[in-house]
Chains A and B, each alone.
Chain A
């Protein structure tokens, strides 16, 4: 079809000559509008056009204000006014008439009136208030076309404050018999939701009804709302997953009417909308993801026609597959699909292929390797957009080995790029890469210089700030710091000797600061020279006054010992009379400090290092002032958002004349508003959601959460071996320089083929770009992301050493070790329990413990022993106290007795049984020990114990049958536990069933909760192993934790606390960073990377097991807080 249109259109010779053209018969060539348009197109100069339009506007103005103008004429005039506005001439006099036309005209005129209004005004225009009544009237009209028009205009622009006035009428339309009205009503409500979410939250259940509408068009419209809702709160809509999957299945299967097809693809817009919703629902949720695997597979399969629209669907599918919980089979297909995009000859598809790769490389860097030659081609593509997208991709795969090549490419692009927005973005990225991976000082300073020159004054201010911070705080080695600063000084001096006039202001500020601070490091550089260079900056016309004050400050730092007196005097004289007060102050400072060396030494001490500034962010020093002001009757402080809200509320008009409910009362009306039984059943779930939403505005953190994890960093590497193998074929080994070979891994299976010259060049570039991407590379410790060993690692405030970390290894057990005394007592008992079955356990333990532990404070020890017995004898139905911890411990099986165990907790009891339990940590196992104490006098023959847990795997050595327990004796049962699904606390539910020889069967139920930390064991590995494992793990989480700050070595101290409390293994501490490893019992590792960052401990956890990082983070946080 497009071809036809294009052909028809191109076939027209002179487009604007009006004779004998196919379209001309429809043109109202005799109309006034026709004349106007023709008049305008015939003109040659802008000036003439302006004259003509002004004349036209005057005539329109005259006519619209004349009382004799009919509505029909008014319609014609409005169209002309719209035309003039489109040409860029204001016709504001006609706005009010447009509203009048919409109000008073008949349907056809009304339509033009509404169109004019929607083109002229936007939702904040005050005239719009006049439209509200018209819209209200039309919404109630019996003429369906008028209703349609009203709904259309409402969704185009409607004042936020007036929504409550028309909301009930729009809502009513959801039940309209005509589907077109229902659909427009749903879209209008969607629009309301976007501009004023809290006003429509009470009708969420109606959205559900729209989703179930028998008309697919209405259902499609409702998906817009759902996409929005789910984006904000995916948890609240998980129950709808099956419905969405079913709908998608039906659409893909061609079950919709033919009307919905687009180029024989069934409802592509609907498909894409559904895929986007599924993507949100399945993210980080295995069970929900599992529901959609089948339909995703089918979507991939069905989209086979070679048309843009099928590629659009495929792209969305791929995105979804890579976002939800991974399934290897689907990932393979998706990877193949990306290949189709990337290798396509169509430039649009190639662009999308690059985009898809950019999403995916974080999880699967090898996919980039596979397409490296295409990526290289795109890098040299004449289309800047393609180039830009390629750089975005390269940015994601940058590591210490390819950083120079990639940054080169980025800078190259920056030099030809004209678009500010792109420049700002890219400059930030270059700075980030440079700081992270800089190979040496020279490169770093030079790259940053380019960043500052190219980025100019548009770049983010934090780039120069963090650069200066980096320079001043220094790194691990004092010598390196000196070299870096020295190099910066040299390079800046030579820049100033060149043409400083061309440098951006921000860069000049950086230069002034660095020279002021560090030029003294260069002994052979005379202060006089530097001062002269700086003074030259002051003389340049282009230098801003902000830069000038930076320069003056630098000079103040430099003018030590009477150096450059003449320069300083000249400058300070010039500027001490400056009109700019800041400059004047700086000049005064310069003057005074240069003359008073003593004062200068006090104000600007040299070589003291930077004392950390203490900032009281809570502004507590103002408390007194505030309370005084409050006492004097001042209004309490309200944060800006609250103020704005109140302002908006105050401004809202009173809507009482309409007799409609105000937004505040609406949540209550949703409760009473249930008409059909179907709504009743779902509204309970919805009321919770609407509550959530009402609070949403207040907490920005909620939204940020969503933002942060849009694409996650889940690298699902482990599951994609086949793709990985094919990826290796493409790098011919002959082309790699020896130094690169080390990084790019020699184990690739290569197929060296003879290559033509230009190809060779490209391949060389490829090998330098994609070096270090394979996960076998040991140099690249932790992949491309933040914790990679940084060259410019901020220095710890105090010299770091790792001695502190190793100190506490011996104390690594969670609970205090059992004392030897009890142990012995215990052994004794073990042997006796069978031999002396008649002795009650209480007596027995007491007795034996008594001998061994004369100082034991166990209740009921020797002095009262006899008395106790007497009591038992005297009372016929005594409810004996269950055995105490210490006593029960003695029942621990011998092989567990030496291990660390938790406190014995009573679980549950009835008249004859007392249940207690504890867990014992073995090296590769966690054993749950259940103590069943028969407190009755009779023997129990058979006790059955059943355990169940959602999170745990329970295996029992005794098959659940405990056997019997005699009266007043203890039966012990052991279970081995392993984690199925990590959760902060895991819970077991158990039932004990038993029966006395005479009597009915009884049962006792209990539950036992234990923290996940009990399952954590240290994982010993080397730094290299850690590096490779890190890359393979897909689930991660990051958080800043409180640091143990009262220790001279905060990092080591914090790690040792974690080690002690959580049994983690500290792999290595490198300066400000530490790497730690642990595992969840046998084979579920979790790696931790932490870094000192702004006074907190930035912790990053990674594991192949979902949820494990989050749980562990919780324990780390607790451990550090409790410390």
Chain B
């Protein structure tokens, strides 16, 4: 199970945080601090995996943005790396050539995409098309709209 996902910039600024298990605010802040210092201090040509307490941290850098995923010890590191990658692909598909700014200014959208992709710490939908269809359908919602219209869109 995925425990948490953090997105932060090269400067250590948090861009997105998702916690899949209940954690206190103080703990969250501490973990975020630990993660940014640990990940940012990694040398080039190091592997993408870290140990932190009893968890494994899988991180990957896309341009100026670091994606950092914590998984439980028995899990597969490589597939976690692909979880990150698929999420980037999803963001890319939604924003079109995604960049850090898209995520900074539209972080709530990034959260919605994440919620369609992961649920309760497990992969929910791996198909790019499906995730996008549900996000776009929800985006089309306007106040007062009748629900049938987007249902056609979303659920085919």
A487 within 8 A of partner (CB)? no
Given A88-B29, A145-B141, answer yes or no on A308-B78 (Cβ-Cβ < 8 Å).
Answer: yes
Chain A to chain B contacts (Cβ below 8 Å), 23 pairs? A5-B62, A5-B92, A8-B97, A8-B98, A9-B65, A9-B99, A10-B63, A15-B100, A22-B99, A27-B106, A37-B104, A106-B141, A106-B143, A107-B138, A144-B154, A180-B155, A188-B120, A221-B124, A260-B127, A267-B126, A268-B79, A308-B81, A351-B77
The answer on a CB contact under 8 Å between A15 and B64 is yes
Q: A180 — which chain B residues lie within 8 A by C-beta? A: 130, 134, 154-155
Give residues 1-54 of B contacting A (CB, 8 Å): 1, 14-17, 19-20, 22-25, 29, 43, 45-54
Q: Indicate the member of A23, A156, A311, A388 with the most B CB atoms within 10 Å.
A: A23
A618 within 8 A of partner (CB)? no
A111 to B138, CA, bound (A): 9
A347 within 8 A of partner (CB)? yes
Neighbour of B154 across the interface among A145, A309, A388, CB < 8 A: A145
A815 to B20, CA, bound (A): 64
A109 to B145, CA, bound (A): 13
A26 to B94, CA, bound (A): 11
Q: A188 — which chain B residues lie within 8 A by C-beta? A: 119-120
A421 within 8 A of partner (CB)? yes
The answer on a CB contact under 8 Å between B62 and A79 is no
Which residues of B are interface residues toward A (Cβ below 8 A)? 1, 14-17, 19-20, 22-25, 29, 43, 45-54, 62-65, 76-79, 81-82, 85-86, 88-89, 92, 95-102, 104-108, 111-112, 115, 119-120, 122-127, 129-130, 134, 137-138, 141-145, 147, 150-151, 154-155
A115 within 8 A of partner (CB)? yes
Q: B144 — which chain A residues lie within 8 A by C-beta? A: 106
Neighbour of A15 across the interface among B17, B97, B99, CB < 8 A: B99
A157 within 8 A of partner (CB)? yes
A268 to B134, CA, bound (A): 22
CB distance from B88 to the nearest CB of A (A): 6
The answer on a CB contact under 8 Å between B99 and A184 is no
A739 within 8 A of partner (CB)? no
CB distance from B137 to the nearest CB of A (A): 7
Given A106-B141, A348-B81, answer yes or no on A145-B46 (Cβ-Cβ < 8 Å).
Answer: no
Given A23-B97, A115-B112, answer yes or no on A122-B120 (Cβ-Cβ < 8 Å).
Answer: no
Q: B85 — which chain A residues lie within 8 A by C-beta? A: 1-2
Q: A681 — which chain B residues lie within 8 A by C-beta? A: none
The answer on a CB contact under 8 Å between A269 and B155 is no
Q: B134 — which chain A residues lie within 8 A by C-beta? A: 148, 180
Return the CB mask of A410-443 against B: 1 if under 8 Å, else 0. Answer: 0000000001011000000000000000000000
Q: Indicate the member of B25, B115, B145 with the most A CB atoms within 10 Å.
A: B115
Given A180-B155, A268-B82, A312-B76, answer yes or no on A112-B123 (Cβ-Cβ < 8 Å).
Answer: no
Given A122-B19, A144-B154, answer yes or no on A269-B141 (Cβ-Cβ < 8 Å).
Answer: no
A350 within 8 A of partner (CB)? yes
CB distance from B126 to the nearest CB of A (A): 6
Q: A8 — which chain B residues lie within 8 A by C-beta? A: 63, 97-99
Q: Indicate the member of B100, B101, B145, B147 with the most A CB atoms within 10 Å.
A: B101
Q: B78 — which chain A residues lie within 8 A by C-beta? A: 308-309, 311-312, 315, 348, 352
Given A119-B17, A178-B155; 11 other pairs, CB 8 A cutoff: A2-B85, A88-B29, A108-B143, A115-B111, A145-B147, A260-B126, A348-B47, A348-B49, A352-B78, A382-B43, A386-B46
A86 to B117, CA, bound (A): 21
A15 to B11, CA, bound (A): 12
Given A15-B64, A108-B141, A269-B79, answer yes or no on A145-B150 (Cβ-Cβ < 8 Å).
Answer: yes
The answer on a CB contact under 8 Å between A347 and B45 is yes
A421 to B111, CA, bound (A): 32
The answer on a CB contact under 8 Å between B107 and A112 is no
The answer on a CB contact under 8 Å between A385 and B141 is no
Q: B25 — which chain A residues lie within 8 A by C-beta? A: 90
A178 to B156, CA, bound (A): 10
The answer on a CB contact under 8 Å between B138 and A421 is no
The answer on a CB contact under 8 Å between A272 and B47 is no
A962 to B72, CA, bound (A): 65
Minimum CB distance partner of B24 in chain A: A122
Minimum CB distance partner of A308 in chain B: B78
The answer on a CB contact under 8 Å between B147 and A143 is yes
CB distance from B122 to the nearest CB of A (A): 5
Q: B108 — which chain A residues lie within 8 A by C-beta? A: 79, 82, 112, 115
The answer on a CB contact under 8 Å between B48 and A23 is no
Given A10-B63, A385-B51, answer yes or no on A21-B77 (Cβ-Cβ < 8 Å).
Answer: no
Q: Total contacts A to B, CB within 8 angstroms?
A: 222
Q: Is the interface of B mostly helix, strand, loop or mixed?
A: mixed
Q: A86 — which chain B residues lie within 8 A by C-beta? A: 14-17, 107
Minimum CB distance partner of A112 in chain B: B108
A652 within 8 A of partner (CB)? no
The answer on a CB contact under 8 Å between B53 and A5 is no
Minimum CB distance partner of B45 in chain A: A347
Minimum CB distance partner of B42 in chain A: A383
Given A15-B100, A108-B143, A268-B79, answer yes or no on A9-B126 (Cβ-Cβ < 8 Å).
Answer: no
The answer on a CB contact under 8 Å between B82 and A312 is yes
Give residues 1-60 of A contacting B (CB, 8 Å): 1-2, 4-6, 8-10, 12, 15-16, 18, 21-24, 26-29, 33-34, 37, 41
The answer on a CB contact under 8 Å between B141 and A23 is no
The answer on a CB contact under 8 Å between B105 and A156 is no
Given A23-B98, A115-B111, A348-B77, answer yes or no on A190-B150 (Cβ-Cβ < 8 Å).
Answer: no
Give residues 188-204 of A contacting B (CB, 8 Å): 188, 190-191, 194
The answer on a CB contact under 8 Å between A187 and B95 is no
Neighbour of B47 across the interface among A6, A112, A351, CB < 8 A: A351
Q: A272 — which chain B residues lie within 8 A by C-beta? A: 76, 79
The answer on a CB contact under 8 Å between A23 and B47 is no
Minimum CB distance partner of A348 in chain B: B47
A6 to B84, CA, bound (A): 13
A217 within 8 A of partner (CB)? yes
A793 within 8 A of partner (CB)? no
Nearest 5 interchain pairs by C-beta:
A9-B63, A312-B78, A155-B120, A122-B22, A191-B120
A268 to B104, CA, bound (A): 31
Given A15-B100, A144-B154, answer yes or no on A348-B48 (Cβ-Cβ < 8 Å).
Answer: yes
A183 to B119, CA, bound (A): 10
A27 to B92, CA, bound (A): 15
Q: A672 — which chain B residues lie within 8 A by C-beta? A: none
CB distance from A665 to the nearest CB of B (A): 27
Minimum CB distance partner of B130 in chain A: A259
Q: B97 — which chain A residues lie within 8 A by C-beta? A: 5, 8, 22-23
A1082 within 8 A of partner (CB)? no
The answer on a CB contact under 8 Å between B101 and A1 is no
A188 to B121, CA, bound (A): 11
The answer on a CB contact under 8 Å between A421 and B43 is no
Minimum CB distance partner of B33 in chain A: A88
Given A22-B99, A351-B47, A422-B51, answer yes or no on A224-B122 (Cβ-Cβ < 8 Å).
Answer: yes
The answer on a CB contact under 8 Å between B62 and A2 is yes
The answer on a CB contact under 8 Å between B101 and A385 is no
Q: Indicate the member of B76, B100, B130 with the most A CB atoms within 10 Å.
A: B76
CB distance from A248 to the nearest CB of B (A): 16
CB distance from B108 to the nearest CB of A (A): 5
Q: A1 — which chain B residues lie within 8 A by C-beta? A: 85, 89, 92
Given A22-B97, A37-B104, A259-B129, answer yes or no on A184-B76 (Cβ-Cβ < 8 Å).
Answer: no
The answer on a CB contact under 8 Å between B63 and A386 is no
The answer on a CB contact under 8 Å between A183 and B95 is no
A695 to B29, CA, bound (A): 38
CB distance from B68 to the nearest CB of A (A): 14
CB distance from B52 to the nearest CB of A (A): 7
Minimum CB distance partner of B127 in chain A: A259
Minimum CB distance partner of A262 in chain B: B126
Q: A989 — which chain B residues lie within 8 A by C-beta? A: none
Neighbour of A34 across the interface among B15, B43, B63, B105, CB < 8 A: B105
Q: A143 — which chain B residues lie within 8 A by C-beta? A: 147, 151
